[in-house]
Structure 1
Amino acid sequence: NLIGKIMKSFFLTFSKTFGIMLALLVILAVFLLFSNLIGRYVDTAYNNLEFVEGDKNSNNLVILLDLEGPILSNSSQKISFFDSQIIFANDIEKIFFKLKEEINLKGIIISINSPGGTVSASNKFYESIIAFQETTKIPIYIHTDELLASGGVWAAVGAKKIYASYGALIGNIGVKGPSWFYYNEPISIKQNFLDKDVATKEGIEFYQTFAGRSKDIFNEFREPTQEEIDSIQNMLESIYEKFLIIVSKNRKIEKKYIRNDLGALIYDSDSAKKKGLIDEVYNFNKSKEKILSELNISNDYKMLSLKNNQNIISQNLPYLFSKYEDNYYKKLNLRICNMSKMQISLLSNYYSNNC
């Protein structure tokens, strides 16, 4: 009986202690979750400024933005573009809005490598650059180390000057329509899942209900009609015309020359300068020196960059949300694949992904 009482008392004490510890762990997990969400997703587009170089006490502020990847409008999961190899135009707009409040700001340098992106996102990026400079009279400068193509060019031409490192690729001024292929008299379909084969004596017949002419556009079991081809081509030509106007206006290049001579080819940095697409072939440090000199602050400035918002939670628990983020990036890559295949886009063919 004594042993039984001792064991009963032990298990009772243990269960209470375990219950308390479990409750504390649940509370801690909830705290970590909200801390991480708040730290990462609440206005992360601007909150963290990191000193890069210069005089910390200087009143002449220069902001550096490092951007890389395709240009999309926004993140469906509210993850900042600093956490991915994606440029979100909505985040850029928020950053510029916040920077308008910086009374000591003298200029912005955007270091960017981009293959382009969607039409709406590239245009929004461009309009944000134009609007900021017109409102504040503060110049924005662009530098690329490797690639500035298609929608990246659309956005970049809004800046006061564009610099590129030797060997960088610039250009691809064109618009790409959605891909459309169809099966020409198919007799068999093989699916990857479990290697299932489908075959019939009379061939494969496809049925789909829809209302509205061309509602089944991109149907893989029929040819496109001439009307559909013409409609898509007209959209492409309309967007391309705006692209030409934007580049011509901002780079002071004749529209006819862009259409007939530059085309949608991509050029090395030296050729891009000769053709007027960029201002100088300089590496980043040389470009920075030229920019600071142009702003008359070479000997008195401080440069700050926007950094990824890594709070103490995300620093010490890097795998806390790994499954969630892995799923997010898979969806993001699928989104880019769909954009490159099915949307009218300004995404260069020089860009490769995991599609």
Structure 2
Amino acid sequence: MAMLYQRAFPLLDRIDPERAHRLAIAALKTGLIAANLQPDPPSLAQTLFGIGFPNPVGLAAGFDKDGEVYRQTLKLGFGFVELGSVTPKPQPGNPRPRLFRLTADRAVINRMGFNNHGIAAMAERLKSRNTAQGIVGINLGKNKDQTDAAADYITGTRLLGPLADYLVINVSSPNTPGLRALQSRDALAALIGAVLETRAQLTRRPPLLLKIAPDLIDADRQDIAEVALASGLDGLIVSNTTIARPAGLDPRFASEAGGLSGRPLFEPATEILRDIYRRTGGKLPIIGVGGIASAADAYAKIRAGASLVQLYTALVFEGPGLVRRIKQGLAELLARDGFANIADAVGADTLGTDGL
């Protein structure tokens, strides 16, 4: 599959990125992308949040915003998939063009703006979900015109909480005005508290995670770590896309507004992951995201402090066979280093440097 995809990529690379994404969704719906149902190596299984993950490799939010193909993406070999970001009301997102493929940099810039069909449409698709088919998380956002942010996250929790294996508060996308301001200490504590209060009223109470940005100063990181530990949050996702523009990016797109993902994000996202793991004392499970394109990348995130990892951008350039290659490579790396289970490697590089 890998060789086939690499041969086809020069043709795919000529297609508008947003159109290519819709074609990928259509291909999954019609079965044109083959499933990979090989058993996972036992060393990759672990239990987090009370959930048994067959492997630590997940599909990040942004690919399946509306829950159209979660069954099919799980069959590609992912240990879990995350849907969204989804908002209470449908919204079209930002004007096009809003998605840019930086092939030479193995990167993408997007300013989609939470384009989605709304909570009701996703709930309709998920109401008949067979939970035995795999783990599905839901990433919650707020509508662009909503001035009471907490109200949107409360609505998402109330309506989608019963249908999700875990929920994510996304306050870190750079493409919704004012969203990242919700990462400040007081605003974040109030928001998490309101969502947890809503979750407590549900019959089924999914774990609640917070997704943060990579562009945080030291004081913001400390605030987030302290609020996360004190609030009763179940975990963190580190990190979202970056508004930074490293030197050397394709000059045709480097000045485009939006969030940068892919290879240039790997180092900064891993650095903040390591830092947040230290600041939380390893007490909160972390999902590591940003620039993962190989088993070595995923393993570096895990040794930095991630219990699970997610990818998306690398699939654009490597194809769906990347999931299988990362899992196989992770099992080999664990065996090489004498780890019987993936959980034993979490924070291995970080614990030795901070005295935890």
TM-score past 0.5 threshold: no
Higher-Rg member (1/2): 1
Query: With CA pairs under 8 Å and 6+ residues apart, which has the higher RCO, 1 or 2?
Result: 1
